[in-house]
Homo-oligomer: A and B are copies of this chain.
Amino acid sequence: MKRILTVLAASLLLAGAASAQELANFNRGQQVVSPQVYEDGSVAFRLAADYATVVSLTGNWMAQGESPIPMKKGEGGVWEVIVPALEPEIYTYNFIVDGVAVNDPVNFKVQRDGTRFLNMVFVPGARSAVYNEAKHRGTLTTMWYDSALLGINRRMVVYTPYGYDNPRNKRVKYPVLYLLHGGGGDEEAWTSMGRAAEIMDNLIEQGKAVPMIVVMPNGNPNQQAAPTLGIETTNINFRDPAYANAYVKSLVTEIIPFVESHFRAINKPASRAISGLSMGGGHTLSASQLYPSVFDYIAPQSISSQDTPEIRAQLRALKKDGYNLYWVGVGKTDFLYEGAQTLDRILTEEGLPHTFFVSEGGHEWKNWRLYLQTFAPLLFK
């Protein structure tokens, strides 16, 4: 025991001395509390900025184009504003200090939206409970696959549910949801902004959704991976008609076989779902219309459709082939709302049973998170 304590003492000494990993970072923390969420959902935002002239706050609960919220300087040079009660949700925000966008230095909960890093604030409540860490959590795998069609190797993120890794389950196979991001997003969008892992963990733990694999590829055909990796993109010009739908073709003929050979995935249409938001909703439409026999669960989000004879013919082919679920989600103020209504109308006119789920709000993550937690329980049942 004495020996053990001697070694421990040396470890603790180091732990104490090194409260951050590099010395230059020691003792920089500020004593300000921000954000502070009150019981009624109002939130105080604070920033220590004694030498700043003007400090304001901007967040994604605000209407588009709304001016930043002025903050007021108080004691000790701490600027503050209290935002009235927000609905339970995850919000992102940043400060503006003398004209410069600034992250909250005391809030290390950060989400990446495209090329921007935004601070996150969580307002608890029934709707947002599903964003918390569940007790039993799945595994996230970030891996690379070769795409002969796109001429590059590419990164994808794969969620496998709790239990998948357990050696006792090594003969169990799982259905797969292909979950696609929007323009400006990448393979990390759904796990960062979308909280997809936490949503699936909670739904599965509560028995609301069946355990499933969720595959989140990169939907920008010219990218190998998220721009944060700084890898060169391909030289292919994807506006060239020769590459029309190259990405959707790669999804169906390269990504799906890769997933089904590298994971314990059931390789049948009844065990494949596809969903995506905005551009990824476009990919969802394309994939389900160009390859009608591949997916039995189809859930485009925040998406517009044209009404053309070609699309109607594709929908009829899809109807003929059969599917289990066609679920469309869109917000009332989404700039694509009219185009989504077109999709609803032609699905109805062509006799394709479907759900047209209309939420408050617009083209935004709070809706995409809501859609995922709403349709995921309907999959593979």
Contact = CB atoms under 8 A, between A and B. Distances in A.
Interface of A: 1-25, 28-29, 47-54, 60, 62, 64, 97-103, 105, 108-110, 112-117, 122, 133, 135-137, 139-144, 153, 162, 165, 167, 181-185, 189, 193, 227-231, 239, 241, 244-245, 248, 261-262, 277-279, 281-283, 285-286, 289-290, 303-306, 308, 310-311, 313-314, 335-336, 362-365
- Copies of this chain present in the complex amount to 2
B53 A53 contact: yes
B245 A8 contact: yes
A117 B24 CA distance: 14
A52 B310 contact: no
Contact of A310 (B2, B24, B313, B335): B2
A16 to B, nearest CB: 7
Name the residue in A113, A135, A182, A189 with the highest tally of chain B Cβ atoms < 10 Å from its Cβ: A182
B262 A363 contact: no
**Which of A15, A21, A167: most chain B Cβ within 10 A?**
A21
Contacts of A261: 167
Contact of A6 (B116, B139, B303, B308): B308
Q: 8 shortest A-B CB distances, which residue pairs?
A: A18-B183, A11-B282, A20-B184, A51-B99, A108-B115, A3-B310, A139-B143, A7-B286
A272 to B, nearest CB: 19
A100 B228 contact: no
A305 B262 CA distance: 45
Nearest to A16: B183
Nearest to A62: B24
Given A282-B11, A303-B14, A184 B19 contact: yes
B230 A14 contact: no
A113 B28 CA distance: 12
A279 B11 contact: yes
Given A53-B98, A245-B8, A141 B140 contact: yes
A22 B105 contact: no
A108 B227 contact: yes
A74 to B, nearest CB: 16
A280 to B, nearest CB: 9
Given A20-B114, A228-B109, A98 B98 contact: yes
B117 A108 contact: yes
